Amino acid sequence: MIGSIGGARLGLAMAFVLALGCATPPEIPEEAPPAAKEPAADTIYVGTIVTVDPEGRLAEAVAVKDGKILLVGDEGDVLAHRGRDTDVVDLAGTALLPGFIDPHSHIASHGVAVTGWANLSLPPVGTAQSIPDIVALLEEKARKQDAKPGDWIVGYGYDQDGIAEGRHITRDDLDPHFPDNPVVLIHVSSHGAVLNSQALAVAGITAKTPTPHGGIIARKPGSQEPAGLLMELPFFMALQGMPQPTQDQKLAGLAAALEHYASNGYTTVQDGATGLEDIALLRRAAAEDRLTLDVVALPNFQAFPTLVQDPDTKWGTYEGGLKLGGVKAVIDGSPQGRTAFFVEPMLVPGPDGQRNWRGEPLFPQADIDEIFRLAHEHGVQTYAHANADAAIDMFLTAWESIGAPEGRRPVIIHSQFVRPEQLAAYARIGAVPSFFTNHAFFWGDVHVANLGEPRAFFLSPLRSASERGIRFTNHSDYAVTPLDPMFMLWTATERLSRSGVVIGPEERIGIAEALRALTIDSAYAYFEEDSKGSIEAGKLADFVILDRNPLDASGDELREIRILETIKEGETVWRAADVEPPTVPADAMIE
């Protein structure tokens, strides 16, 4: 799986221990009072508490009881709830924050897949920088899996814009190296792939296969022979021919994925386009008490009509850590894949050389209208994948067509190339854009080349949204980019591209506001702001411990902050290098 950018630093555990040992301990009474204020806390944390409450307060201590926050505030007031069985944790220079809330990623689809595929990503996520590099990584994967003729070899994270050749790999690049194996290179957007001849044959894609509307089958120059690249609908159809893991294998992959999310400080995660099979998988995991974090699943709009007619399906309520949060409609594709749907043409040809290319919607307006109507009739929240402004226009048209009342909080995932007047419409209808500022680093330079500076610099316009009173979130779209929340804080506040260009300097925001997009405002998008997203009495004790307070960091310092521990409803679900924090029983004396 993709880890935090740069990986965990050597000696993280030792640094944590040293920090705890060297910091000045709080002035905690040596013994618990004979009669602590009731109810007595299970655990009390003392140190720097970043509450993310409406006032943005820093607190000195927080008490936890039965998985919920009992009290937060001054050290003395909180320690008054210290009973004989209370554990007191000295944060010792570290910082306790609300657990991060993932507003958009794909945990189910990447639980098994990413752990078993070759990483073809560009630095710093991977090592691929050329076509020979990619071939070598695929060959290494084939050796490790002891691939026999007919076995599939799959890689992920492939990005043609960053490799030395500056073009898409073709089947002709792959066939000489893999004559007997189907090979698939999943594009970094997760909206396409390059297939070799064996894989194209399994998918049944030939020169006679028509290119469907809303999809791309790249052809060899001067012919109808497929070149290898498939985008959108043909790609999704080709995936069906790949071997599928068993449900037990998927459950094992899900467990690994949950640990990976927890290691990045998340206490609530999303599966951002869930089919019926994965809903069954997640329901089994919930029934068997396998979900260590809360999971919000968004059934895709192929699965939604079946689910919404089932009287036993519950929406918006957790059962065993699983909630069906709403329906996900996909309107357009990917800007870095050149399949996002724009009003004005791009400055470059389309993926198959199309001129004056502005992308296409994946589905007609009538289909989007119908799924929104069905969701509205059943009181189900709507989520729409819309990257570019023409796709956002389709979302707004669909939303207006259903006449939904205020307060439904429709979420527009990505909203990357929204126009200013569309932001005004968001504010009017109470929409929640889920922005994607990691694009500024990974593809900011690509967007400038493809779209020109004015459009590229309005990428994920956080400051403009904030000025209009819009509550927004910020996401990783994992596994499109790494889960690392510190990296997201950095891209939201700095917006630096790979080449060092600030992609829209006027759209940068401060650290406190960027932190809200990963905590309380993500909770708001899920209608969970009363139970999550900030450290306030009565809310769930969902926390993350960082090695320093991010509000005191700036620039590249943000990227260096590391997660030390993740706590879900008062219980530790992940800890760095298995280091036990200093827990002081109530009847012991602090040395």
- Contact yes or no for 194/158 (Cβ under 8 A): yes
In the three-class reduction of DSSP (H, G, I as helix; E, B as strand; rest coil), residue 16 is classed as helix
Strands 382-388 and 411-417: parallel
Whole-angstrom Cα distance, residue 9 to residue 558? 14
Residue located via tokens 């040596």: 30
Helix or strand holding residue 68 (H, E)? strand 68-73
Whole-angstrom Cα distance, residue 545 to residue 94? 7
- Contact yes or no for 187/221 (Cβ under 8 A): no
DSSP H helical ranges for 452-528: 453-457, 462-467, 485-494, 511-516, 520-525
DSSP letter string, 340-383 = S--SSPPSS--TT--TT-----SS-HHHHHHHHHHHHHTT--EE
| Paired tokens of 296 | 């919000």
- Contact yes or no for 367/304 (Cβ under 8 A): no
Q: Write the CA distances from 383 to 71, 336, 439, 513, 526, integer angstroms.
A: 35, 21, 20, 23, 11
**How many other CB atoms are found less than 10 A from the CB of residue 149?**
8
Whole-angstrom Cα distance, residue 536 to residue 343? 44
In the three-class reduction of DSSP (H, G, I as helix; E, B as strand; rest coil), residue 59 is classed as strand
- SS3 per-residue string spanning 202-216: HHCCCCCCCCCCCEE
**Burial zone of 283 (CB within 10 Å; 0-12 exposed, 13-18 middle, 19+ buried):** middle
Whole-angstrom Cα distance, residue 426 to residue 470? 7
Task: Count H helices and E strands in the chain, helices first.
Answer: 21, 23
Please choose, from the candidates 135, 199, 142, 200, the residue with its C-alpha nearest in 3D space to the C-alpha of residue 164: 135
**How many other CB atoms are found less than 10 A from the CB of residue 289?**
9
> Torsion angle of alpha carbons 430, 465, 273, 540, nearest 10°?
-80
Please choose, from the candidates 106, 119, 7, 102, the residue with its C-alpha nearest in 3D space to the C-alpha of residue 479: 106
Please choose, from the candidates 568, 563, 471, the residue with its C-alpha nearest in 3D space to the C-alpha of residue 3: 563
- Tell me the torsion sign for CA atoms 574, 576, 579, 580: negative
Whole-angstrom Cα distance, residue 589 to residue 591? 6
Q: What is the pLDDT of residue 35?
A: 65
Q: What backbone torsions phi and psi does residue 226 show, to the nearest 5 degrees?
A: -65, 135
Please choose, from the candidates 89, 92, 96, the residue with its C-alpha nearest in 3D space to the C-alpha of residue 44: 89
Q: What is the pLDDT of residue 581?
A: 54
Please choose, from the candidates 480, 469, 466, 545, the residue with its C-alpha nearest in 3D space to the C-alpha of residue 512: 466
DSSP letter string, 423-440 = HHHHHHHT-EEEE-THHH
Q: What backbone torsions phi and psi does residue 306 show, to the nearest 5 degrees?
A: -70, -45
* Structural domains of the chain sorted by starting position, each given as residue range(s) with its CATH number in brackets: 12-99+536-585 (2.30.40.10), 114-239 (3.10.310.70), 247-525 (3.20.20.140)
Tell me the sheet residues that pair with 504.
none
Whole-angstrom Cα distance, residue 105 to residue 297? 10
Amino acid at 169: I
Q: Write the CA distances from 164 to 390, 428, 549, integer angstroms.
A: 32, 46, 39
Please choose, from the candidates 75, 8, 64, the residue with its C-alpha nearest in 3D space to the C-alpha of residue 40: 64
Residues of the chain with pLDDT under 70: 1-35, 111-115, 578-591
In the three-class reduction of DSSP (H, G, I as helix; E, B as strand; rest coil), residue 166 is classed as coil
Peptide bond into 39 cis (omega under 30): yes
Residue located via tokens 């700095």: 494
* End-to-end C-alpha distance for the chain, whole angstroms: 41
pTM of the model: 0.91
| Paired tokens of 453 | 């500076």
- SS3 per-residue string spanning 237-265: HHHCCCCCCCHHHHHHHHHHHHHHHHHCC
Whole-angstrom Cα distance, residue 357 to residue 335? 12
Q: DSSP assignment, residue 333?
A: -
